[in-house]
Amino acid sequence: MLKGLIFDLDGVLTNSARFHLGAWNDLAKELGINLTPDQLDSLRGISRMDSLNLILKYGNQEDKYSEEQKEEFAAKKNEKFVEQVGKMTPDDILPGITKLLADAKSQNLKMAIASASKNAPKILTRLNIMDEFDGIVDPATLHRGKPDPEIYEKAQELLGLESNEVISFEDAQAGVEAIKAAGQFAVGIGSKQLLAQADYIVPDTSKLNLKEIETAFNK
Ligand code: B16
Ligand code: MG
Protein backbone atom coordinates (compact mmCIF):
# COMPACT_ATOMS: atom_id res chain seq x y z
CA MET A 1 0.00 0.00 0.00
CA LEU A 2 1.25 3.47 -0.88
CA LYS A 3 2.29 5.45 2.21
CA GLY A 4 4.91 7.94 1.03
CA LEU A 5 6.49 9.95 -1.74
CA ILE A 6 10.20 10.75 -2.11
CA PHE A 7 11.39 13.60 -4.30
CA ASP A 8 14.62 14.59 -5.92
CA LEU A 9 14.76 18.40 -5.87
CA ASP A 10 16.60 19.84 -8.85
CA GLY A 11 14.71 19.01 -12.04
CA VAL A 12 11.69 17.66 -10.16
CA LEU A 13 10.38 20.34 -7.79
CA THR A 14 12.27 23.25 -9.35
CA ASN A 15 14.69 23.96 -12.13
CA SER A 16 17.81 24.96 -10.21
CA ALA A 17 19.89 23.07 -12.81
CA ARG A 18 20.21 26.18 -14.93
CA PHE A 19 21.98 27.94 -12.04
CA HIS A 20 24.19 24.93 -11.27
CA LEU A 21 25.18 24.48 -14.90
CA GLY A 22 25.72 28.21 -15.45
CA ALA A 23 28.01 28.46 -12.42
CA TRP A 24 29.96 25.33 -13.44
CA ASN A 25 30.34 26.60 -16.99
CA ASP A 26 31.79 29.89 -15.70
CA LEU A 27 34.23 28.07 -13.44
CA ALA A 28 35.28 25.69 -16.23
CA LYS A 29 36.01 28.65 -18.52
CA GLU A 30 38.15 30.25 -15.81
CA LEU A 31 40.14 27.00 -15.69
CA GLY A 32 40.53 27.07 -19.48
CA ILE A 33 38.07 24.23 -20.06
CA ASN A 34 35.39 24.56 -22.72
CA LEU A 35 32.60 22.12 -21.90
CA THR A 36 30.41 20.74 -24.69
CA PRO A 37 26.63 20.90 -24.09
CA ASP A 38 26.61 17.11 -23.47
CA GLN A 39 29.44 17.36 -20.96
CA LEU A 40 27.62 20.15 -19.13
CA ASP A 41 24.42 18.11 -19.13
CA SER A 42 26.18 15.10 -17.63
CA LEU A 43 26.64 17.10 -14.39
CA ARG A 44 22.91 16.94 -13.56
CA GLY A 45 22.23 15.21 -10.25
CA ILE A 46 25.96 14.72 -9.55
CA SER A 47 27.34 15.96 -6.20
CA ARG A 48 29.43 19.13 -5.98
CA MET A 49 32.89 17.51 -5.73
CA ASP A 50 32.05 14.77 -8.23
CA SER A 51 30.93 17.50 -10.66
CA LEU A 52 34.21 19.40 -10.26
CA ASN A 53 36.26 16.21 -10.71
CA LEU A 54 34.30 15.39 -13.86
CA ILE A 55 34.94 18.87 -15.29
CA LEU A 56 38.69 18.54 -14.58
CA LYS A 57 38.64 15.13 -16.26
CA TYR A 58 36.93 16.59 -19.35
CA GLY A 59 39.70 19.21 -19.46
CA ASN A 60 42.49 16.63 -18.91
CA GLN A 61 43.39 18.43 -15.67
CA GLU A 62 42.67 15.57 -13.26
CA ASP A 63 45.97 15.83 -11.39
CA LYS A 64 46.66 19.52 -11.79
CA TYR A 65 45.24 20.81 -8.49
CA SER A 66 45.56 19.99 -4.78
CA GLU A 67 42.51 19.04 -2.70
CA GLU A 68 42.70 22.46 -1.08
CA GLN A 69 42.57 24.23 -4.44
CA LYS A 70 39.64 22.05 -5.49
CA GLU A 71 37.78 22.99 -2.31
CA GLU A 72 38.33 26.63 -3.22
CA PHE A 73 36.97 26.13 -6.76
CA ALA A 74 33.91 24.31 -5.42
CA ALA A 75 33.30 27.05 -2.84
CA LYS A 76 33.52 29.69 -5.57
CA LYS A 77 30.97 27.86 -7.72
CA ASN A 78 28.69 27.45 -4.72
CA GLU A 79 28.85 31.14 -3.88
CA LYS A 80 27.58 31.96 -7.35
CA PHE A 81 24.86 29.32 -7.09
CA VAL A 82 23.67 30.52 -3.68
CA GLU A 83 23.46 34.08 -5.02
CA GLN A 84 21.00 32.84 -7.68
CA VAL A 85 19.03 30.79 -5.15
CA GLY A 86 18.49 34.01 -3.18
CA LYS A 87 16.44 35.29 -6.09
CA MET A 88 14.15 32.23 -6.25
CA THR A 89 10.46 32.57 -5.32
CA PRO A 90 7.45 30.18 -5.13
CA ASP A 91 6.95 31.01 -8.84
CA ASP A 92 9.99 28.79 -9.49
CA ILE A 93 8.09 25.65 -8.43
CA LEU A 94 7.72 23.54 -11.58
CA PRO A 95 4.23 23.13 -13.18
CA GLY A 96 2.05 20.40 -11.66
CA ILE A 97 4.08 20.13 -8.45
CA THR A 98 1.89 22.27 -6.17
CA LYS A 99 -1.15 20.14 -7.06
CA LEU A 100 0.81 16.91 -6.65
CA LEU A 101 1.94 17.92 -3.14
CA ALA A 102 -1.61 19.00 -2.22
CA ASP A 103 -3.07 15.69 -3.50
CA ALA A 104 -0.48 13.76 -1.51
CA LYS A 105 -1.27 15.77 1.64
CA SER A 106 -5.00 15.12 1.27
CA GLN A 107 -4.22 11.38 1.20
CA ASN A 108 -2.00 11.70 4.29
CA LEU A 109 1.05 10.47 2.39
CA LYS A 110 4.39 11.17 4.05
CA MET A 111 6.95 13.07 1.99
CA ALA A 112 10.75 13.28 1.94
CA ILE A 113 13.52 14.89 -0.12
CA ALA A 114 16.39 12.85 -1.59
CA SER A 115 18.54 15.57 -3.14
CA ALA A 116 22.30 15.55 -3.55
CA SER A 117 22.24 19.30 -2.94
CA LYS A 118 23.59 20.65 0.33
CA ASN A 119 21.52 23.75 -0.51
CA ALA A 120 18.19 21.85 -0.48
CA PRO A 121 16.82 23.41 2.76
CA LYS A 122 17.72 26.88 1.46
CA ILE A 123 15.96 26.23 -1.87
CA LEU A 124 12.85 24.69 -0.25
CA THR A 125 12.61 27.71 2.05
CA ARG A 126 12.79 30.10 -0.92
CA LEU A 127 10.03 28.07 -2.63
CA ASN A 128 8.01 28.22 0.61
CA ILE A 129 7.43 24.44 0.68
CA MET A 130 9.91 23.42 3.41
CA ASP A 131 7.07 22.52 5.83
CA GLU A 132 5.50 20.08 3.37
CA PHE A 133 8.23 17.51 4.02
CA ASP A 134 8.56 15.07 6.88
CA GLY A 135 12.24 14.44 6.16
CA ILE A 136 15.19 15.77 4.17
CA VAL A 137 18.23 13.53 3.72
CA ASP A 138 21.42 15.37 4.69
CA PRO A 139 23.77 14.66 1.76
CA ALA A 140 26.77 15.31 4.04
CA THR A 141 25.96 12.02 5.82
CA LEU A 142 26.14 9.96 2.62
CA HIS A 143 29.04 7.70 1.68
CA ARG A 144 28.15 7.30 -1.98
CA GLY A 145 26.29 9.46 -4.48
CA LYS A 146 23.54 8.50 -6.96
CA PRO A 147 23.34 5.95 -8.70
CA ASP A 148 24.07 4.27 -5.36
CA PRO A 149 20.74 3.58 -3.59
CA GLU A 150 21.93 5.02 -0.24
CA ILE A 151 20.12 8.38 -0.51
CA TYR A 152 16.77 6.76 -1.41
CA GLU A 153 17.17 4.13 1.31
CA LYS A 154 17.85 6.91 3.85
CA ALA A 155 14.80 8.92 2.70
CA GLN A 156 12.60 5.85 3.10
CA GLU A 157 14.07 5.23 6.56
CA LEU A 158 13.36 8.84 7.57
CA LEU A 159 9.70 8.19 6.75
CA GLY A 160 9.75 4.86 8.59
CA LEU A 161 8.47 3.02 5.50
CA GLU A 162 9.29 -0.09 3.49
CA SER A 163 10.53 0.04 -0.11
CA ASN A 164 7.19 -1.26 -1.45
CA GLU A 165 5.30 1.55 0.30
CA VAL A 166 6.91 4.50 -1.51
CA ILE A 167 7.03 6.15 -4.92
CA SER A 168 10.16 8.15 -5.80
CA PHE A 169 10.51 10.91 -8.40
CA GLU A 170 13.66 11.67 -10.44
CA ASP A 171 14.78 13.54 -13.53
CA ALA A 172 18.34 12.14 -13.77
CA GLN A 173 19.37 8.76 -15.12
CA ALA A 174 21.69 8.17 -12.14
CA GLY A 175 18.76 9.01 -9.84
CA VAL A 176 16.37 6.52 -11.46
CA GLU A 177 19.09 3.88 -11.18
CA ALA A 178 19.44 4.72 -7.47
CA ILE A 179 15.66 4.37 -6.89
CA LYS A 180 15.52 0.99 -8.64
CA ALA A 181 18.59 -0.23 -6.72
CA ALA A 182 16.71 0.73 -3.52
CA GLY A 183 13.82 -1.51 -4.67
CA GLN A 184 11.35 1.40 -4.93
CA PHE A 185 8.82 2.38 -7.62
CA ALA A 186 10.44 5.01 -9.87
CA VAL A 187 8.71 7.87 -11.65
CA GLY A 188 11.04 9.33 -14.27
CA ILE A 189 10.58 12.89 -15.50
CA GLY A 190 12.19 13.45 -18.89
CA SER A 191 13.39 11.40 -21.84
CA LYS A 192 11.98 7.86 -22.31
CA GLN A 193 15.33 6.71 -23.69
CA LEU A 194 17.45 8.05 -20.84
CA LEU A 195 15.05 7.06 -18.06
CA ALA A 196 14.05 3.67 -19.52
CA GLN A 197 14.63 1.96 -16.16
CA ALA A 198 11.77 3.93 -14.53
CA ASP A 199 8.42 2.23 -13.83
CA TYR A 200 6.42 5.25 -15.03
CA ILE A 201 7.70 8.08 -17.23
CA VAL A 202 6.33 11.55 -18.00
CA PRO A 203 8.01 14.07 -20.34
CA ASP A 204 7.70 16.93 -17.83
CA THR A 205 6.24 17.71 -14.39
CA SER A 206 3.01 19.20 -15.78
CA LYS A 207 1.99 15.63 -16.75
CA LEU A 208 2.27 14.27 -13.20
CA ASN A 209 -1.06 12.96 -11.92
CA LEU A 210 -1.04 11.17 -8.56
CA LYS A 211 -4.15 9.05 -9.28
CA GLU A 212 -2.67 7.71 -12.54
CA ILE A 213 0.72 7.05 -10.97
CA GLU A 214 -0.97 5.22 -8.09
CA THR A 215 -2.88 3.03 -10.54
CA ALA A 216 0.43 2.02 -12.15
CA PHE A 217 1.97 1.48 -8.68
CA ASN A 218 -0.89 -0.83 -7.62
CA LYS A 219 -0.70 -3.01 -10.75
P1 B16 B 1 25.09 21.44 -4.15
P2 B16 B 1 19.44 16.99 -7.07
C3 B16 B 1 21.87 18.08 -7.42
O4 B16 B 1 20.53 18.20 -6.98
C5 B16 B 1 22.05 18.88 -8.71
O6 B16 B 1 21.28 18.28 -9.75
C7 B16 B 1 23.50 18.89 -9.11
O8 B16 B 1 23.68 19.65 -10.30
C9 B16 B 1 24.34 19.47 -7.97
O10 B16 B 1 25.72 19.46 -8.28
C11 B16 B 1 24.08 18.64 -6.70
O12 B16 B 1 22.70 18.64 -6.41
C13 B16 B 1 24.85 19.17 -5.50
O14 B16 B 1 24.36 20.46 -5.18
O15 B16 B 1 26.32 21.95 -4.80
O16 B16 B 1 24.02 22.51 -3.94
O17 B16 B 1 25.36 20.66 -2.89
O18 B16 B 1 19.14 16.79 -8.53
O19 B16 B 1 20.05 15.76 -6.42
O20 B16 B 1 18.30 17.57 -6.30
MG1 MG C 1 17.59 16.05 -10.20
Q: How does the average pLDDT of the chain come out, rounded?
A: 96
DSSP assignments along 9-45, one per residue? SBTTTB-THHHHHHHHHHHHHHTT----HHHHHTTTT
Ligand 1 close to Cβ of residue 118 (< 6 A): yes
Ligand 1, closest atom to CA 116?
Answer: 19
Residue numbers belonging to the annotated binding site for Mg(2+): 8, 10, 170-171
pLDDT of 27 over the 90 cut: yes
The answer to whether residue 187 scores a pLDDT higher than 90 is yes
Kindly report, residue by residue over 40-71, the tens digit of the pLDDT: 988 888 889 999 999 999 999 999 999 999 99
pTM: 0.92
Q: Which residues are annotated as a binding site for substrate?
A: 8-10, 24, 43-48, 51, 77, 115-119, 146
**The pLDDT of residue 72:** 98
Is residue 77 within 6 Å of ligand 1 at its C-beta?
A: no
Q: What ipTM was estimated for this complex?
A: 0.92
- d(C-alpha 172, C-alpha 175), whole Å: 5
One-letter amino acid for residue 137 of the chain: V
Please name the residues in contact with 64: beta carbons below 8 A apart, sequence gap of 6 or more. Answer: 56
